[in-house]
Chain A
Amino acid sequence: MSANKAARIGEEVWKTRIDKVNAELVTLTYGSIVAQLCKDYEGDYIEVNKQLEKMGYNIGLRLIEDFLAKTNMGKCINFKETAETISKIGFKVFLNITPTVTNWTTDGKQFSLTFEENPLADFVELPDDGRAQNELWYSNLLCGVLRGSLEMVQMQVDAHFVSDVLRGNEVTEMRVTLIRTIDDELPPGED
């Protein structure tokens, strides 16, 4: 499946089959979740990253079913197609953004998503305590969502941010690595 076709499907599904909510509602809700986590963990941003990833993971486990139901997608042939599908259909239908797929490694198992826009991070400034800028990955929920949803379609991946405009980097970039393909489980033997 070509990138163009993916873009077309994404556009089509987003226009016809998706209930929309106010973007600011999403931004503010997500913001208050992160703020609350920072409070709960008393500024332990490493732990906040972890919790966000975990929340995302649990979202991903369910979101994939909704994604499949709405888009009627079948299995991707290879990881390249998966990347295009994530960017042009997945992010499109749920967040109305299409992060760019770049920086493929030659073995085709690792790519980057760069976000020109990120609705989760609108209006956000990281706390000015000298640590958040270096430790907090504000949108880490998204990494978890990818990990959870891909796990359900038999791909174990690692996803993490490597840069974020909120930290003063030039781009927001997420690195996604395919670790392995999960085999079908076999039924328990009759013994």
Chain B
Amino acid sequence: MTIYSFYIFDRHCECIYIKQWHQQDKFRPTSSAGPSGTDSPASLTGDGKRSSAGSTLLRSNDTNPSRPGGRLSVQDDAKLIFGVVFSLRNMVRKLSGPEDSFISYRTGAYKLHYYETPTNLKFVLLTDVKMNNLRVVLHQIYVNLYVEFVVKNPLSPVEHHGGEGVAVELFEMGLDGFIRTIQD
């Protein structure tokens, strides 16, 4: 049971938090290199996300030097994931009414779990394919970590442009600990 990465998107479609626990080589078999087998958390930093620079494939930026094997940067991954969940969610709603929301999807290599709050915050978790449904986990991350440590933090802004105010220490530690309990 492995958890690859975790994303939060706000109601302005902006990615406000990224966390990766393993290099995602496992579900991108084409890429070969990169330090493997180590925990390498990569957190989101503000720059470069909103800028609309050219093709996604060619873009690289300071926070994430271009990776070997044509891999996308962390931010571009986030953009793609947003595109996928946004489209899927809208399609699902068109098909079966506004109450419905998609919960997860699976490919041959990974599984994507999705939870959206009524305030349009979107929580996404990528795991290996054998993982059970983690919607409850995402809900708990929202209730016990996001609301407690980000929303209720008086110093954190209401809107998190560039992820500002989300990656506070209490949230990070809580998230890390919580994810660890699921992986074991």
- A65 contact set on B, CB distance < 8 A: 117, 119, 146-147, 151
B:1-31 near A, CB below 8 Å: 11-13
Known: A61-B158, A69-B143, A75-B99. A190 touches B56 (CB 8 A): yes
Q: Does B38 contact A (CB under 8 A)?
A: no
Which of A58, A66, A185 contacts B11, CB < 8 Å? Answer: A185
B119 touches A186 (CB 8 A): no
B interface majority secondary structure: loop
> Using an 8 Å CB-CB cutoff, how does the interface string of B142-170 with A read, 1 for contact, 0 for none?
11001100011000001000000000000
Size of the chain A interface, CB-CB below 8 angstroms: 22
The smallest beta-carbon distance between B78 and chain A, in angstroms, is 11
Which residue on A lies nearest to B119, using beta carbons?
A: A152
Chain B residues lying within 8 Å of A190, measured Cβ to Cβ, are 52, 56
Contact of B82 among A61, A66, A68, A187 (CB under 8 A): A187
Q: Does B83 contact A (CB under 8 A)?
A: yes
Contacting residues of chain B (80-94) with chain A, CB-CB under 8 angstroms: 82-83, 86
- Which chain A residue lies CB-closest to B153? A62
Decide: A62 and B82 in contact? CB cutoff 8 A: no
B50 within 8 A of A: yes
Complex Cα gap A185–B152 (Å): 24
With a cutoff of 8 Å between Cβ atoms, the chain A residues found around residue B146 in the complex are: 65
Please, which residues of chain A bring their CB within 8 A of the CB of B142? 69
B118 within 8 A of A: yes
Q: How far is the CA of A185 from the CA of B159 in the complex (A)?
A: 14
Interface of A is mostly: loop
Q: Which B residue's beta carbon lies closest to that of A153?
A: B118
- Is B40 positioned at the interface, with any CB of A under 8 Å from its CB? no
Q: Is B120 in contact with A154, judged by CB distance below 8 angstroms?
A: yes
**Does A153 lie within 8 Å of B119, measured CB to CB?**
yes
Q: Is A179 engaged at the interface, CB distance under 8 Å to the other chain? A: no
Q: Which residues of A contact B99 (CB under 8 A)?
A: 74-75
* Inter-chain pairs besides A64-B119, A153-B119, A188-B50, 16 sampled, C-beta below 8 Å: A62-B151, A62-B152, A62-B158, A65-B151, A66-B152, A74-B99, A74-B118, A75-B98, A152-B119, A153-B118, A154-B120, A185-B11, A185-B12, A185-B13, A190-B56, A191-B52
Pairs of residues from A and B, 9 with the lowest C-beta to C-beta distance, nearest first = A187-B13, A69-B143, A69-B147, A65-B151, A152-B119, A61-B158, A65-B147, A75-B118, A153-B118
The chain A residues found within 8 Å of chain B, CB to CB, are 58, 61-62, 64-66, 68-69, 73-75, 152-154, 184-191
